[in-house]
Amino acid sequence: MRPRTVFAAAAVTAAFLAGPAFAGPTLDKVKGQGMIVCGVSTGLAGFSLADSQGKFTGLDVDYCRALAAAVLGDANKVKFAPLSAQQRFTALQSGEVDLLSRNTTWTLQRDTQLGLNFAPTMYYDGQGFMVPKKLGVKSAKELNGATVCVQPGTTTELNLADFFRANKMQFKPVVIEKLDEVESAFFSGRCDAYTTDASGLAATRVSKAPNPDDYVILPEIISKEPLAPAVRHGDDEWFDIVKWTVYALIEAEEKGVTSKNVDEMLKSDDPNVKRLLGVTPGMGKSLGLDEKWAYNAIKQVGNYGEIFDRNVGKNSPLKLERGLNDLWTRGGLQYAMPIR
C-alpha cells in the first residue's frame, strides 16, 4: 500500500516568492534588473526620509539617485530599502541591497570583519549631545549622572560609554532601537540628553522637536563619524563605480558644473570638465559605464554642493554649515581624486 495522496501545501507560499535574485558581479545584476537596490535609513531628516506619500528624500537618497543616473541613465531607477541599524550589514552581505547609503560610519572593524568596502565619505560628522535648554547645561562635561537616550547597535552607543568612562562620569542609558521612539522618549523628558551624530541632532531638533528653541546642541563633538556609502567585499568593479560617482559629484562642484549649467558646460574648454562630462571619452568606458555617466548624475541630481544645500544645508530646514564638508579649496575635507 503506497501513499496515494500527498498533502500538497506549498502552493500558497510559492505565490509569494519574489523571484530570488542572483548577485553575480553587481553591475550585471543592476543592469539586468534595470534598477539599483539601495539600503537607506528608515527615517532621518536630511539623509533619508519618506514623506506621507512614501517618496524618499535626503543626502543618502540623492547619492543613490545620482548612482542610478550614472549607471542606468535614469535617477529614478532606484528601489529604496529602508533598513534598521541592526539589519543593514546583513542586508548588504546577503545581496539584498546593492549598496548601503545609510549614514554608516566608516570604521576599521566594519571595513574588515564585516567585509565592507567604503566609498569616499559623503558627510563628515561627529557625535554630539542635545539637551533641553531649561537644564542649563553648557558642556557635555557637565552631564555627570545624566540619563542619555541612545540607539543601540551603533558606534554611537560605544562612543557614549567611552566618553563617560574617559571623563570619569556616570550615566544611565535608555536604549531604544527605533529612531521614532528614542526621539519621543527624549522629547517627553525621559532622558536628560540625546546623543547621535551632530547632523542627526540638528535634523531631529528642527524636524521633530515640538519647539526647536527649547533644545540646545552642546558644543562638544566626541567622535569622528565619517558617513560613507558601502558595498560588499569582492566586487571591485562595482566598488570603483560607487567610489568614482562620489568623486564625480565633488569634482563637479569644484569645477562649477551644476545641474543648471551642465549642458553649457559640455562646450567648456577645461580638459577636466571635458573628461568629467564625457566630451573627451574614456572615463565611462574605464568604469564599464556609458560615457555620459557623470553628466547624467549631475544633470538629474546635481553636484555635491547642490545635493548638500538641498538636503541638509542652507536650502533645507536643517541649515547645517558646510564646515568639514566644504571643498578642500575652501578649507573643508571634500577632495576628489583626479578624474583622468
Partner 1 sequence: MADLAESRLAPSEPLKPPASSTGVIGWLRANLFSSVWNSILTLIALYFLAVTVPKAVDWLLVDATWQAANGRECMAAAGGACWAAIGEKWRFILFGRFPYEEHWRPLIVCVVFVALFLASCDRRLWGMPLLAIWAAGLALNALLMWGGVFGMTYVDTSLWNGLPLTLILAVIGMAGAFPLAIVLALGRRSHMPAVRAVCVAYIELIRGVPLVTLLFMATVMLPLFLPPGITIDKLLRAQVAIILFAAAYLAEVIRGGLQSIPRGQYEAADALGLGYWQKTRLIILPQALTVVIPALVNTFIGTFKDTALVIIIGLFDLLMLANAAMTDPNWRGFATEAYLFVAAIYWAFCWFMSKYSQWLEADLNKGRRR
Partner 2 sequence: MAIDARQDGIRPSRASLVNDPNVRAIFYQVVIVGAVIALGWYLVHNTLENMARQGIAGGWGFLGREAAFEISETLIPYSPADTYGRAFLVGVLNTLHVAILGIIFATILGTFIGIARLSTNWLVKKLALVYVEIFRNIPLPLQLLFWWSWLREATPGPREAWHLMPGVWLSNRGLVYPVPVHDPVYLWMGAALLVGIAATIGVKRWAKRRQAETGQPFPTIWTGIGLIVGLPLVVFLLAGAPLTWSKPELKGFNFAGGASVTPEFTALLVGLVVYTAAFIGEIVRGGVQAVPWGQTEAAGALGLSRTQALRLVILPQALRIIVPPMTSQYLNITKNSSLAIVIGFPDLVSIANTTINQTGQAVEGIALIMAIYLTISLSISLFMNWYNRWVALVER
In the complex, the residues that contact partner 1 under the rule CB under 8 A are 1, 3-5, 7-9, 12-13, 15-18, 20-24, 42-43, 50, 52-54, 79, 81-84, 86-87, 90-91, 93-96, 177-178, 180-181, 183-184, 187-188, 207-210
- Which residues on adjacent β-strands are paired with residue 40? 82
Q: What is the smallest separation between the CB atom of 93 and partner 2, expressed in angstroms?
A: 5
176 contact choice in partner 1, partner 2, none (CB below 5 to 8 Å, kind-dependent): partner 2
As a three-state string, the secondary structure of 235-286 is CHHHHHHHHHHHHHHHHHHHCCCCCCCHHHHCCCCCHHHHHHCCCCCCHHHH
Q: What is the smallest separation between the CB atom of 114 and partner 1, expressed in angstroms?
A: 13
- Contact between 284 and 277 under an 8 Å Cβ cutoff? The reply is no
Between 47 and 304, whose beta carbon lies closer to partner 1?
A: 47
16 contact choice in partner 2, partner 1, none (CB below 5 to 8 Å, kind-dependent): partner 1
User: Residue 111's CB: how many other CB atoms inside 10 A?
Assistant: 14
- What lies within 8 Å, CB to CB, of 141 at 6+ separation is 167, 169, 220
**Residue 218 binds partner 2, judged by CB under 8 A:** no
- Written as one letter, the residue type at 30 is V
Q: What is the smallest separation between the CB atom of 192 and partner 2, expressed in angstroms?
A: 5
Q: How far is CA 85 from CA 89, 103, 112, 156, 303, in A?
A: 8, 10, 18, 11, 28
- Window of 37-45, 61-69, 98-106, 139-147 that interacts with partner 2 by CB under 8 A: 139-147
Q: What is the total residue count of the chain?
A: 340
Between 62 and 235, whose beta carbon lies closer to partner 1?
A: 235
Read off the C-alpha cell for 236. 571591485
Catalog residues that contact partner 2 under the rule CB under 8 A.
1, 85-86, 89-90, 93-94, 112-115, 135, 143-147, 152-154, 157-158, 160-162, 164-165, 171-177, 181-182, 184-185, 188-190, 192, 232-234
